[in-house]
Structure 1
């Protein structure tokens, strides 16, 4: 039911022209760097594609985040990374978000991880969140693999699962986030 409502709002926003994303003319951040010291590191595009494929039709983010927005929203300086892809939902009523950042070095990786953890905590503390997103936000994850630091808040659960206790709903959303973790981990095997 919630998916239908969100879809209807999205269609109405697009048809009436009330939705006009800031910086829509800016290209997404997708600068690539070479692998470090002979270790095989998947490209950021492979990481992104693997995550997106893991969710299939349940992958909701569709609005690319610009380099400027990456700094403003997440506190991540362009000096810290060699590549980044970030997507958010087109409509703010949905919380699904994916941020993948390829750190330049170990010090940058720590800074990016810290910035994403801070962002996650701010989301959790934000009392202005849509009630339907609060538990999904609590289940969000900052994940580090190799040079990549990711913020993962993805996936859908059934209406039956949504009607369970808060702890069970959070656990169900955490399980959804694990799809992304597994997809990324497979690229390193």
Structure 2
């Protein structure tokens, strides 16, 4: 009779660490988009328009603009909306300065300046004047955004194409 030692138990496997929020919400969706067979031209246009629409200084219209444009141009709607909503922190940082500039641009220059104190005073005394000031500020901010968005979109669109060509080429080599 031969003696066989008792089997040595395998060391416990440490549970895999769950992917981070950044990886789950940003990196993986972007990689999935790259795997969908879009051309570098489509990808760069999607990102460029997503950035531009993500910076629009009017809250609440980013999704509408992005969806309508993506459907019209036959781009990936989810990718464009992902990029545009990732721009939300920058949008929030830019909205107040753009509205202040917009109020100066559209306003006659003799009206009240757009400040929190001035708006509080106007809403307390003359809410119609306050709404008029906000309307002018929003319209001016939208005009500034429209003018600035054209060169930004062109720069991003043509600047990102070589990057996406390299990424897609690398992606196709990995899958082969």
Q: With the length of structure 2 as denominator, give the TM-score of the two structures.
A: 0.26
- Structure with bigger RCO (C-alpha 8 Å, 6+ apart): 2
Greater helix percent: which structure?
A: 2
TM-score, length of structure 1 as denominator length: 0.25
Q: Which has the higher strand share?
A: 1
